Amino acid sequence: MEQKKFDAMLVLIIPQIIGLIIGKTGQDEVAATRDFYNSEVYALLEQEDTKLWQLSPLTIFNMYDEEKKTGNITFPEG
């Protein structure tokens, strides 16, 4: 995928994930954004070749939530 298209995809996905973090954790937007950007899931998401961007925001949120709770990340079957 072209870098511009990939970047545009992230611009659409990330706010949805942060919205889920806010809704599920009660964090404010700044804290939720900071926590997500500092996560391993985000590091993987920003690498196009991982194809995480193809997953739903809810699936990515669940991966993030698992990372925060356990320190592990489970990748969905696919």
Kindly report the length of the chain: 78
Q: What is the C-alpha separation between 9 and 4, in angstroms, rounded?
A: 9
CA geometry: angle 33, 53, 76, nearest 5 deg: 100
Enter the pTM of the model: 0.90
DSSP state of 52: G
**pLDDT for the residue 77:** 78
Confidence of residue 6 (pLDDT cuts 50, 70, 90): confident
pLDDT, tens only, 32-65:
999 999 999 999 999 989 989 899 999 999 999 9
